[in-house]
Amino acid sequence: MLQLGVELGLFKAIDDEAERRWTVIELAQVIGADANLLYRVLRYLFTIGVVRENPDSTYSATVATRWLAMDAAENDVKRNNATNRAMFQTMPVILQRQQTQWAADPGSIEISSSSSSLVPSLPDGAAISGFVAMMRARRERPRTWMDVLPLQLLRLSGRDFGAGGTNFVQIGCSPTGEQCRALRAGFPGVLGGMSLQVGRAVVGRFDRTELAGYGIELQVHDPDSDQPVLGAKAYYMKNVLHDFLDEKCVSVLQHIRQACAADSLVLIDEMVLPIADSNHEQSQPSLRMLSYLTAMERTRLQWETLITRAGLQLQRIYTYDAELGDSVIVAVRA
C-alpha cells in the first residue's frame, strides 16, 4: 500500500498543502484515482500511521506523509517492500529449520543458497538503506527525549566542571542519530565536555572539525568494549541495544557501568513496549528487527531485567511518544 501511495503521488498531493483537510473526492481528482478505491487505501494507510484520518472523514498529513512525499522515498519504499516480503515469507522456513528456536548467533542459522540474501545475512546495501529509511521515517516525530528528561540532571557540579569533566557521552550512533550538537545548541546550560563514540565503519561520515567547534570529541569505539571515558555525568545510547540480543546488551551495559561514577546516569533511548495490547506501530518494528538482525524491541519488564543483570538499577522511564513507546530509560549504578 505504501508503494501504491508513492506511485500514485498520493503523499505528494497531501503534503503539497500540509495543513489542508482533504476529502476523498478531492484527492481522487488530484491524483486521477477512483474515489471508492482510494477511500479503502486511505483507511488502511491511516491504520499504519502514514496519513491522519480526521473526525469529519477528511485526511491530512503526518510526519510520515511528509517523508513519503520526498523524491528519495520511492526507491526506498520499493526496496524495503521487496526485502520485507522476502524476509517475512522466508522466516517460517528458517524457524522450522531451527525447530522454532531463536538463534543466539545469527550466523549459526543455515539458509539455502536460493535465499542467501535473507535472514540472517544482512540484505544488500540497497535493501538495508530502504529498511533504515523506513524505520527512520516511522521514528521521526516532533518530540524527543530532550522534551521530557529534566536536563538539569545532566549539569556538572561546579567542581567537576572546573576539573574539565565530561558531562555527555553518546555511544554507538549513526550520522542521522547524533544528538550532541542539538543538546549543546538547544541547551547551553548543559556544560562540560561531550564525546561522540562511533564505529570505525562510519567515522568518516562525521566532520571532526565541525564537532570540535561544539566542544564534542569524536572517538572510534565499540560499545562492547571497555568504555574509555570515565566518570561522565551521562552515557547515552539511541536505538543501539535493540540491535543486540540479551547477552550482548548485558555486556555493553556492564562496560558502561564500570566507567560510571556514583552520580553517573545511563540513558537508553529506545522503544518501551507495553506488556499487553501493543499497537501496530509498536509490534511491526519488533518483527522487522527480528527478521533483519535477529534482534528485538523490548517491554519495560525486559528492559528492567537487562538493566538489573548488568548491575544497574532502573530509576525512571520518560516516554516522549506514547504511540510508538519511544522513551528514555534512566538507570544508575546499583
3-state secondary structure of 94: helix
| Alpha helices, DSSP H, located in the chain | 2-8, 10-16, 24-31, 35-47, 63-68, 73-97, 125-139, 158-162, 180-186, 208-213, 246-259, 280-293, 300-309
Q: Tell me: cis bond preceding 175? Omega within 30 of 0 counts.
A: no
Q: Which of 118, 136, 138 is nearest to 290 (CA)?
A: 118
Buried/exposed 115-139: b ≥16 CB within 10 Å, e otherwise? eeebbbeebeeebebbbebbbebbb
Q: Of the candidates 112, 148, 98, 110, which has an alpha carbon nearest to the alpha carbon of residue 269?
A: 148
Enzyme catalytic residues: 242
Amino acid sitting at position 114: S
DSSP state of 171: E
CA atoms within 13 A on the CB side of 203: 13
By the 8 A CB rule, do 205 and 175 touch?
yes
- Cα separation, 327 vs 238, in Å, equals 10
Q: Residue 185: CB partners within 8 Å, gap ≥ 6?
A: 214
For 163, the grid coordinates are: 576539573
Question: Which amino acid is located at 203 in the chain?
Answer: V
